Amino acid sequence: MKLAIVGATGLVGTELLKVLAERQFPLTELLPVASAKSVGQLVHFLGKDYPVVSMDDAIAARPDIAIFSAGGSVSKEHAPRFAAVGTTVVDNSSAWRMDPTKKLVVPEINASTLTADDKIIANPNCSTIQMVVALNDLHKAYGLQRIVVSTYQSVTGTGKKAVDQLLEERAGQVASNPAYPYPIDLNVLPHIDVFEENGYTKEEMKMVHETKKIMGDSNIQVTATCVRIPVMGGHSEALNVQFHKEFALNEVRAILHDTAGVELVDEPSQNRYPMPKDSHGRDAVLVGRLRRDETQPCTLNMWVVADNLRKGAATNAVQIAEYLVANKLVG
């Protein structure tokens, strides 16, 4: 099993290597790929050092799987080149997510749709992943009608440049190479990705469109406000969810308790609720603050937290790769 990691030296790429090691992914050869300036740099994995190789050399090696985490333009240009030599690509960027010919996969929900013919598979947006993992089994039970989501997203979702900005500002310095148009420390930015003509940001519209595609239901209504906060790891979401059917809170808790990938943290009397610091370095989607919306029927309020570099990116991609291997769809 020959595996390439495209973007191996970035934040998500580094996390991918950790997840592969932790989950004992059955690879026999690792091909770390990064930009031309990084070629030859050593990447440490399971006690060995692997030199970063160029894109062309990685394609020539014909890996079984290539996991991309290097941005949309890189994916658009090079994912088809890998696919053309028989490699199955799992792409973390937004490049292929809404392509009607590509599958958008969260393994707990729709991995069973994958076939050996799917040579480019899209990994959803981090905020979307944790939301749909928390909601999928509730959707099966009660039918999702409308989701109002407000996100509180970590700077790690932007990348190392944003992490550096936060740390410099926290140290009392002016950021040397800021990722954001305003300071992020002691501040909140209601602005993630670019603004579109309808006044929503691209990030907000990703949540709208991706949710419908993953759930396989274009009738689910979604409206989002995405916000960047000065937290180092872990995205949080406040969800107001209206169902077609009425529910009982004890049933909701039981469903979430048994939902794959979810950990229920909902003991308000003990001050137990999900927080980003508790999600850091973990794969579980933490769910809590469950309560009925008392202003309208069939509506639930909930709080959802996950590590955006793990389940929101690296772990989800590795889980897709694991499914491909386990079901003999590659190699």
Q: Are 258 and 137 in contact (CB under 8 A)?
A: yes
Which amino acid appears at position 272 of this protein? R
Q: At what angle are helices 315-326 and 11-22 packed, to 10 degrees?
A: 50
The Cα angle at residue 240 between residues 259 and 272, in degrees rounded to 5: 60
> Would you tell me how many other CB atoms lie within 10 Å of the CB of residue 47?
6
Which amino acid appears at position 60 of this protein? A
From the candidates 78, 126, 139, 226, give the one annotated as an active-site residue. 126
pLDDT, residue 331, reads 79
Annotated binding-site residues for phosphate read 97
The tens-digit pLDDT sequence of the chain (331 residues) is: 999 999 999 889 999 999 999 999 999 999 999 988 889 999 999 999 999 999 999 999 999 999 999 989 999 999 999 999 999 999 999 999 999 999 999 999 999 999 999 999 999 999 999 999 999 999 999 999 999 999 999 999 999 999 999 999 999 999 999 999 999 999 999 999 999 999 999 999 999 999 999 999 999 999 999 999 999 989 999 999 999 999 999 999 999 999 999 999 999 999 999 999 999 999 999 999 999 999 999 999 999 999 999 999 999 999 999 999 999 999 7
Q: Are 169 and 184 in contact (CB under 8 A)?
A: yes
C-alpha span between 66 and 280 (Å, rounded)? 26
pTM: 0.96
Of 189, 300, 294, residue with least CA distance to 240:
300
Annotated binding-site residues for NADP(+) read 9-12, 37-38, 308
For 73-115, the DSSP string reads HHHHHHHHHHHHTTPEEEE-SSSSTT-TTSEE--HHHHGGG--
Of 58, 78, 229, 208, residue with least CA distance to 131:
208
C-alpha span between 143 and 163 (Å, rounded)? 39
C-alpha span between 88 and 86 (Å, rounded)? 7
Report CA Rg, the chain.
20
- Ranges of beta strands (E only) in the chain are 2-6, 29-33, 42-45, 48-51, 65-68, 88-91, 103-104, 120-122, 144-153, 221-228, 235-243, 262-264, 285-292, 299-306
Pairing of strands 299-306, 235-243: antiparallel
C-alpha span between 91 and 97 (Å, rounded)? 9
DSSP character for 312?
I
Annotated binding-site residues for substrate read 153, 228
**244 has catalytic annotation:** no
Annotated binding-site residues read 9-12, 37-38, 97, 153, 228, 308
CA distances from 228 to 78, 94, 156, 177 (A): 30, 19, 10, 18
The DSSP H or E segment spanning 165 is helix 160-170
**139 has catalytic annotation:** no
Domains of the chain with bracketed CATH: 2-124+313-326 (3.40.50.720), 127-308 (3.30.360.10)
Query: Which residues does 77 contact at the CB level (< 8 Å), separation at least 6?
Result: none
From the candidates 78, 139, 235, 280, give the one annotated as an active-site residue. 235
C-alpha span between 156 and 276 (Å, rounded)? 12
Of 120, 52, 115, residue with least CA distance to 84:
120
